[in-house]
Structure 1
Amino acid sequence: MSSHTALVWFRRDLRLHDNEALVDACGADRVVPVYCFDPRGYGQQPYGGPDSFDVRKTGLHRLRFRLESVADLRSSLRDRGSDLVVRIGRPEAVLPDVATAVGADSVSMHTWPTPEERQVESAVQQALDNVGVEPRRFWGHTLTHPDDLPMDLDALPDTYTTFRKAVENDASIREPLHTPELPALPDSVPEPGEIPALSDLDEDVSNAAQAEDEPLASPNNEQATPSEQAIPLFEGGETAGRERVESYIWEGDHLREYKETRNGLVGRDYSSKFSPWLNEGCLSPRYVQSEVERYEDVRVSNDSTYWLTFELRWRDFFQFQTAKHGGEFFQRSGIRNRTDIDWRDDDAQFDRWAAGETGIPFVDAAMRELNATGYVSNRARQNAASFLANNLRLDWRRGAAYFETQLVDYDPASNYGNWAYIAGVGNDSRDRYFDIVAQARRYDADAEFVTHWLPELADLPPEYAHEPWKLTDAEQADYGVQLGIDYPEPMVDLDASYEKLD
């Protein structure tokens, strides 16, 4: 009887647990795990389509996280007697070469719904067909499998509440798959290759990381550890992801109060912060859900445990919406095909927003945290997005693309779906904008978040820290904050900008 050799192509599924592509490949006699650093995912690339612009695809924070995640995956595979073949190159070129070298019969892989990812898959499938290797595709990054949805994708509701109720009532969640035993590598396996350095993938990003080994400085320029700053720094990899689940749910018992704390702004544990590991595939959402259900059985079942599942379903919603609408999701007019909004292009204004120099403290604090850490709370990122898309009316896709560069937890469907929603071109028929000062007062009442990231405002009382433009000249002198010198004057009259939206 002839033996079977399989490749498993790791993509945004950098884990051994609950990995159907890996389980499928491990049914073969020999398995070769492969990971490709696709050059199209790094450096400056065109956004594509009408009114295109250039975007840096992967910034420092996510690139570091990805390199750590690939290294962790390789370590886990080696611990089990296997290895990870790593290459820099287009998968449609790399995978047929490796498959031919080892005499592979099939390549198992996960699939994603965005046009960019689908185009790569199609190119890989064609290239494998040309060398007589079978591509085998699986879906493994959502809580609910698309085959278990109570409707076809083309009938998927475009509003979350309708989707959620249907799924809660009429769909099941599959049990996570166990980590399989890994068959031996074939004798003809190629050299595994080195995991690249930052400079191998993006020289500019590498240059930005030159101060990496310097002590981390707090916003007040005092030496501080990450924990003292309460900056949520993330270590990539399945190992670190599972440790985060353990520490958040079980050791810290934070899930008990998740619904009450999830709109927090400063600290490590106001929310789960599972998203970087979920979106790079180091954690399976079904595994997270299984831990939530175990917690409910062992400790407590309440609104907070339900709400974490609620948020996992939000993530599902945007994945399935992208599968339904495809490229429309990423167009300026959105899935609602809105042509009535006069989107502007203003590089100077965009650069001030990106740098956290708008003169609107809640927005600036959000952008400075994003730039420094690759992460920002959902509440703060929504307000920053609303300011760009609604108050400034700058092309929302440029803001979403900037988040794509900076976010350590970037996922194309969730990122662009949320931006389109806020910009009024996505999954909501209402015009969606935030009263930024009201939001700041509600969620940052003592201005802890604002003054943490804007230390120049630290001596102001909260009401002025959120609206420093209301300081008189005498008060500016008393507090030592001169607008236009110590902190920017607002780049827009907020009240007047809201009038245009009503």
Structure 2
Amino acid sequence: MTDAVVWHRADLRTVDNAALAAASDADRVAPAFVVDPVYYGDDGLACDARLRFLHECLADLRGQYRDLGSDLALLSGDPHERVPELLDRGFAVYVNRDVTARRGLARDEALLDREGVQVFDDDGIRRPGQRHRDGTVAVDTRATRAGEGWDDHCEAYFEREPHARPDGLGPNPVDSEVTIEEVEARHDVAPEKRGVPAGGTMAGNERLSAFVDRLTDYPRVVSPPAAAEDRSSRLSPYLTFGALSHRQVYQRVQSAPESRGREMYTSRLFWNRHYHQKLADWPGWTERAVNPVFRGLFRDEHDEDLDAAWREGRTGFPMVDAAMRALTETGYVNFRMRALAATFYVYVLKQWWRRGADFVYEHLVDADPAINYTQWQSQCNLTGVHPVRVYDPEKQLREYDPDGAFVREYVPELAPLPDEHLPAPAETPVGVQRECGVDVGEDYPYPVVDYDHEAERARERYAALADRAREALSDPRVRRRGSFSNRGRDRADDGGEDGGQTSLDDF
């Protein structure tokens, strides 16, 4: 008799699941998820809203398995111990590979090569085995192989037929050890964020269908933060947890009539795979600067007061403050505001990037290391190849929130100010402040720094390091870490006026 455990991680679905499709031929199939307590602690960098979204995905997945005559077993503990126990009990373990870093990478390196573990790589990512000692992939994953470039390889993944859900499964031979309710009570999961989408494949499919129906609106709503919050896809958490596969979303989007919106969102899906490829090529993206010349930049200039002002949304720059408050209150902020927050933290406040990147990662419901950390490094030019573009908060507000809808929602103390004074409240005439009932300096802080001065200082600091950074890039390992490319679908990569993202407006 063949017994197979399907070990779910970031693939919380039964459709288009390679590991499940292969395991369904076994005599007995045991779908399982290991609840690792480490991710619930202070070092887990996961807000309660993200944990609740995960739990909703697990509840939905359990329902999918019950419809098939089975169930989802929830195990508790360290996977380093629990997976070997399953192997010792005679189960084969079927698992889909993920692009991981930090603890997840250490877990996979310890477990996925064990005898009895069968790993599936059907996600559009190239994973050559040759690596340097520092973890950098030793071959060019972007190189054309047998006539197939990276974009062709990724497109082939998107276009292949999804794996079918099994017609039925027998009872799960592995019992659950804990319930979702017990996990939430044990770890005191009590989300306070508002407006968080419901987790699970059913909710994801409903959101996907609604988005495809309004796909033509996508170009108009993706950059303005208020419009993005209400009318962009908001599919990223479902992709992060694998409630939907990237291929499912791609093929559903392709079924819509041709439009600029369809083209832009398709590009976004390639962009997602592109940055997962970067993390697969070098897991160090989450830990240290790609270019060694920038390692430790601003680490010794840490200012607790400036850092707290940024985190709490009280820098005196309304667009930055609205973005940070939106992040902490809802777990979501659109790509443009994430870029603004990152560049302001590093270039303007002169703070070490890791502290800021970890804070944003903790609060995002859709937190994905392959997106968050690569984007922080790219936007803040820790690669040594991107331009130093210091986002101007006033300009961003005038262009992307001209009616002040976003700022007034998240910085309500400024709501009475006329539109023309929202970009720079400190410059509002005293008479206008008195008439509106807004006292800048009391109700809302003055700017914590002089933006123009600090932006120029940042340009000078980077210019002084530019020659050394270019020299460092002559090392093939440093160059390869970033998987730098501007071919084909990789239009969301290096170059361009938007802080290194040629298609920033697309996302």
Q: Structure 1 residues 34 and 338, CA, compared in 2 at 3 Å: closer, same or farther?
A: same
Partner of 2:427 in structure 1? 470
Long gaps (5+) in structure 1: 46-55, 159-163, 213-230
Instruction: Report the equivalent of 1:283.
Output: 244
Secondary structure of the corresponding residue to residue 363 of structure 1: helix
1:139 corresponding residue in structure 2: 121
1:189-200 matches, within 5 Å, as 189-191=174-176, 193-197=178-182, 199-200=184-185
Deviation string, structure 1 residues 390-413 (Cα, Å, up to 9, x no partner): 110111111110111100010011
The question of whether the paired residues in 1 share the 8 Å contact of 2:310 and 2:321 is answered with yes
Do the aligned residues in 2 keep the contact of 1:23 with 1:179 (CA within 8 Å)? Answer: yes
Equivalent residue number for residue 52 of structure 2: 64
Q: CA deviation at 1:371?
A: 0.9
Find the aligned partners of 2:100 and 2:450 in 1 and give their Cα distance.
40
How many residue pairs were aligned?
A: 443
CA contact (8 A) 1:86 1:193 kept: yes
The letter for the 2-side match of 1:190 is D
Identity value in percent:
32
Q: Assess if the C-alpha contact under 8 Å between 2:315 and 2:321 holds in 1.
A: yes
Aligned to 1:219: none
Aligned pair in 2 of structure 1 residues 72, 429: CA closer, same or farther (>3 Å)?
same
- Write the mapping of 1:328-367 to structure 2, written as runs, cut at 5 A: 329-335=285-291, 337-339=293-295, 341-343=297-299, 344-367=301-324
How many Å separate the matches in 1 of 2:349 and 2:182?
38
Structure 1: how far apart are the matches of 2:92 and 2:341?
49
Q: How does 1:44-123 map onto structure 2 within 5 Å? A: 44-45=42-43, 56-101=44-89, 103-123=90-110
Q: What does residue range 258-407 of structure 1 map to in structure 2 within 5 Å?
A: 258-267=218-227, 268-295=229-256, 300-327=257-284, 329-335=285-291, 337-339=293-295, 341-343=297-299, 344-407=301-364
Q: 1:166 to 1:19 in 2, by over 3 A?
A: closer
Cα deviation, residue 87, structure 1: 2.0
What is the one-letter code of the residue matched to 2:126? P
Which letter maps to 1:189? V
Q: Which amino acid aligns with 2:207?
A: R
| CA drift at 1:290 | 0.5
Distance 1:321 1:405, change over 3 A: same
Q: Decide whether aligned partners of structure 1 residues 439 and 11 sit closer, same or farther in structure 2, where only a CA change above 3 A counts.
A: same
Q: 1:315–1:414: 8 Å Cα contact kept in structure 2?
A: yes
Matched, 1:183 2:181: no
C-alpha distance in structure 2 between counterparts of 1:348 and 1:100, whole Å: 53
Counterpart contact for 1:28–1:183, Cα < 8 Å: no
- Hey, what's the Cα distance between the residues in 2 that align with 1:167 and 1:201? 45
- TM-score (ref. length: structure 2): 0.81
Cα deviation digits, residues 339-362 of structure 1 (max 9, x gap): 584343222221111111111100
Question: For 1:397 and 1:490, how far apart are their aligned partners in 2?
Answer: 23
CA displacement 1:64-88 (0-9 Å, x = unmatched)? 1011111111111112111111122
Does the 8 Å contact 2:346/2:353 carry over to 1? Answer: yes
Give the Å deviation of 1:89.
Answer: 0.8
Are 1:14 and 1:73, in contact at CA under 8 Å, matched by a contact in 2? yes
Distance 1:383 1:429, change over 3 A: closer
> What is the DSSP-based 3-state SS (H/G/I as helix, E as strand, rest coil) of the residue aligned with 1:35?
strand
Indicate how the Cα distance of structure 1 residues 337 and 16 shifts in structure 2: closer, same or farther if over 3 A, else same.
Answer: farther
Q: Which amino acid aligns with 1:255?
A: L
Write the distance in 2 (CA, Å) between the matches of 1:370 and 1:165: 37
**Alpha carbons 1:417, 1:426 under 8 Å: kept:** no
| Per-residue Cα deviation, 1:33-81 (whole angstroms, up to 9, x for no partner) | 1101212222122xxxxxxxxxx52111101101111111111111211
The yes-or-no answer on 1:235 pairing with 2:235 is: no
Write the letter of the residue equivalent to 1:9.
Answer: W
Cα deviation digits, residues 351-386 of structure 1 (max 9, x gap): 111111111100111111111111111111211111
Contact kept, 8 Å, 2:49 with 2:196, in 1: the verdict is no
Tell whether 2:162 aligns with 1:167: no
| Matched AA of 2:378 | Y
- Note if contact 2:142-2:150 (Cα within 8 Å) is conserved in structure 1: no
Determine if contact 1:154/1:324 at 8 Å carries over to the other structure. no
TM-score by length of 1: 0.82
Q: Structure 2 counterpart of 1:175, which letter?
A: E
The aligned counterpart of 2:494 is none
- Counterpart residue type for residue 8 of structure 2: F
Change (3 A) 1:457 1:425: same
233-242 vs 253-262, which deviates more? 253-262
Paired with 2:41 and 2:247, the residues of 1 have a C-alpha distance of 33
Distance 2:168 2:178 in 1: 20
The answer to whether the 8 A contact 2:319-2:394 is kept is yes
Deviations 1:158-188 (A, max 9, x none): 9xxxxx99615995232222212343136x5
Comparing 302-311 and 114-123, the one that deviates more: 114-123
The CA deviation at 1:114 is: 2.4
What SS is found at the alignment partner of 1:398?
Answer: helix
State how far apart, in whole Å, the 1-side matches of 2:175 and 2:103 are.
28
